[in-house]
Amino acid sequence: MAQKPETRKEEIVRTAEMLFKKKGYSAVTMRDIAQAMGIKAASLYNHIQSKQQILSEIIIKIGEDFTEGMAEIVAAELTSIQKLEKIIGLHVKITMKNPSRMATMNNDWMHLEEKIDYYLQLRRNYEESFRQILKEGIEKQELKAVNPEIILFSILSTLRSLYLWIPKKEDINQEDLLQTLSKVLLKGIVK
């Protein structure tokens, strides 16, 4: 199958992602991005308005992918445990596809300017949907009656750190990781 060729703009975003991951958003200049691509800084501006626009495209795209995935999960006819498995799957899938984007989202979201409120809203809504699934699960006695804030924090910390860990485990298979992670996060490790 022929892959769609990368547009110049996609190449800029991909190069920026790599540099943001390595040095952090603040330390990267438009000139660095141009240099890494072997072109002049001025020609970047034919494709993109600013470094801020690149950051915003990276983070908002991922934020919206999570929002969309969560909306499908919330709407599905599933038990709360099945919904939690789907959430774990969503994080594994998005992170395995874009570990650098996840790094940028995690490390540099606070450098968003115009879009920061929108990003924080997406994030709050995501956490709120997650919290509701946990509360429902506790109510229906599918989950243990444990403080849902601690469950939310604990599971999300692991899922949000996947980008740090996955690139070091190149031999790992998406399906195996999902199965094992679901087991560990949902059923614990004590025999």
190 near a copy of itself (CB under 8 A): yes
SS3 (DSSP) at 29: coil
CA torsion through residues 172, 174, 90, 191, sign: negative
58 interacts with a copy of itself by CB under 8 A? no
State the nearest-atom distance from the C-beta of 4 to a copy of itself, in Å: 34
**165, 102 in Cβ contact below 8 A?**
no
4 in contact with a copy of itself (CB under 8 A) = no
Nearer to a copy of itself, 14 or 167 (CB): 167
Which range touches a copy of itself (CB under 8 A), out of 29-37, 58-66, 124-132, 162-170?
A: 162-170
From the list 11-19, 43-51, 115-123, 151-159, the region that binds a copy of itself by CB under 8 A is 151-159
> Is residue 46 near a copy of itself by the rule CB under 8 A?
no
Residue closer to a copy of itself by CB (options 8, 160) is 160
Binding pattern for the stretch 71-100 against a copy of itself, x by CB under 8 A and - elsewhere: ----------x-------------------
Q: Dihedral (C-alpha) 41, 45, 50, 56: value to the nearest 10 degrees?
A: -120
- When binding is defined by CB under 8 A, the residue of 50, 153, 173, 175 that contacts a copy of itself is 153
Residue 122's contacts (CB-CB under 8 Å, 6 or more residues apart) are 60, 63, 64, 66, 67
CA distance 131 to 148: 7
- Least distance to a copy of itself, CB of residue 44, Å: 25
Instruction: Measure Cα distances from 94 to 62, 74, 144, 152 in Å.
Output: 8, 18, 28, 19
Q: Dihedral angle at the C-alpha atoms of 183, 99, 22, 24, nearest 10 degrees? A: -90
For residue 174, state whether it binds a copy of itself (rule: CB under 8 A). no
What DSSP character marks residue 7? Answer: P
**Close Cβ partners of 69 (under 8 Å, ≥ 6 residues apart):** 90, 94
Among 38, 77, 169, 170, binds a copy of itself (CB under 8 A): 169
* Interface ranges with a copy of itself (CB under 8 A): 24, 26-27, 81, 134, 137, 141-144, 146-147, 149-151, 153-154, 157-158, 160-161, 164-165, 169, 177, 180-181, 183-191
